[in-house]
Structure 1
Amino acid sequence: MTTWKQKRFWTAVSVTESAGRFAVELDGRSVKTPAKADLTLPTRAMAEAIAAEWRAQDGAVKPQTMPCTRSANAALDKVQVQHSEVADMLAEYGDADLLCYRADSPVELVQRQSEHWDPALDWAASELKVRLQTRCGIVHQPQDVKSLQSLRARVQALSAFQLAAFHDLVSMSGSLVLGFAAAAGWRSAAEIWSLSRLDETWQEEQWGPDEEAQAEAEIKRQAFLHAKRFYDFS
């Protein structure tokens, strides 16, 4: 059974501006989202990145090669219509943040977590005005309610486009703090991704790499790097 694929039907791709918003046009017709909403974008940089993806299509359209277009579609069709729910879901990561749950042994792993994760928590205390507390083991221990409320308010304040990117920064790293740190440019997205993979890297050092797991991790790493790029466009 063959699957129908959309083929390139346009010649020219352009970016237009109206009332401070931007659109991508194919032969003078505005691009729509899958839900048929106007693909209206907040910045020219984002619009130009999306236009470049449409220009690069040759023959059959390949959505997997259009990450900015897909992220913009998600922002408009999904995040914008349920902004509060998405923000609340991401804010919940603060109460079980990856950086807060530490090993109690071996000592080398304990030291590595402290050396690499404590600076991120220190950054959050300085820049986000929230000090999350660490604990040993995996049993959940709630964080301070006021701290969580402060973090939730910050997430709720993000635009739909920012939140679409922030979703991946947080969910893929497992850390609300690392999501904020990546968005703010505390360190490079690649460095922050490595911080989120500290435990997995330790396991690989002890037992050797798993090729399938590494391939999956690389896909997630690329998605994380894209999310930071898209956030910066917004």
Structure 2
Amino acid sequence: MHLTTLCNTSLDNPTQRNKDQLIQAAVKFLDTDTLCYRVEKPETLVELQKNEWDPIIEWAEKRYGVKIGSSTSIMGPSIPAQTQEVLTSHLASYNMWALQGIEFVVAQLKSMVLTLGLIDLHLTVEQAVLLSRLEEEYQIQKWGNIEWAHDYELQELRARTAAGTLFVHLCSESSTVKHKLLQE
């Protein structure tokens, strides 16, 4: 169902956006990336965020040669213009269909950093979804799980993220077939 939706959206382009607009829509999420916003209390959640999110941010900074950072301020971190330029340039290497998929995944995870980790095969779908829901998972551990709500949300988010990631990979893949001439 989600792959069909992505295909139809890419075919129809109902919002009539061009490539630059799709790239900007994805990159704008960097300013409000889930991994960049941290809490100050409780200490156990602060430590969990540090242990789980910092390695992903460090990976992205090293992989793309950028500075992302994090903040406990409601204003969030100050993302350098060069970081946005580098990521914009990187996304420009994808075709329109793949960009539709990237924007879809970014919107699901609320994170450009996690999406890049998925697209680069640094993270699995399960890891990315868990990291995007880190605070919710923390609360579930503390207060308990509402099976009909939390379980459904988790499975739906995994399905949407997996579909978007697969869509990006399928739209970015290229292969050629070389036929050998048979000698008689």
TM-score (norm 2): 0.83
Matched, 1:185 2:124: no
Are 1:94 and 1:175, in contact at CA under 8 Å, matched by a contact in 2? yes
Alignment-mate amino acid for residue 230 of structure 1: F
Matched, 1:78 2:13: yes
Matched, 1:222 2:159: yes
- 2:24 maps to which residue? 88
- 1:107 maps to which residue? 43
Matched, 1:121 2:57: yes
Deviation string 1:132-183 (CA, Å, 9 cap, x unpaired) is 0111143334311211222222223321121121112211111111111101
1:163 and 1:124, CA in 2 relative to 1: closer, same or farther beyond 3 A? same
Aligned length, in residue pairs: 169
Distance in 2, matches of 1:191 and 1:209, equals 19
Q: 1:150-169 counterparts in 2 under 5 A?
A: 150-169=86-105
- 2:82 maps to which residue? 146
Unaligned regions of 5+ residues in structure 1, if any?
1-63
1:79 and 1:94, CA in 2 relative to 1: closer, same or farther beyond 3 A? farther
TM-score (norm 1): 0.67
- Greater RCO (Cα-Cα under 8 Å, separation 6 or more): 2
Question: What's the C-alpha RMSD, in Å, of the aligned pairs?
Answer: 1.9
Distance in 1, matches of 2:89 and 2:14, equals 17
Are 1:76 and 1:160, in contact at CA under 8 Å, matched by a contact in 2? no
- 1:202 maps to which residue? 138
> Percent same amino acid among aligned pairs?
22
Deviation string 1:57-85 (CA, Å, 9 cap, x unpaired) is xxxxxxx3xx4333222122218941322
Are 1:87 and 1:152, in contact at CA under 8 Å, matched by a contact in 2? yes
Distance in 1, matches of 2:129 and 2:14, equals 23
Distance in 2, matches of 1:116 and 1:97, equals 15
Alignment-mate amino acid for residue 220 of structure 1: L
1:140 and 1:79, CA in 2 relative to 1: closer, same or farther beyond 3 A? farther
Q: CA deviation at 1:214?
A: 3.1
SS at match of 1:220: helix
More strand by share: 1
Matched, 1:68 2:3: yes
Unaligned regions of 5+ residues in structure 2, if any?
172-184
Alignment-mate amino acid for residue 185 of structure 1: L
More helix by share: 2
Which one of the candidate residues 157, 168, 172 is aligned to 1:231? 168
Deviation string 1:89-120 (CA, Å, 9 cap, x unpaired) is 11011122111111111111111111111111
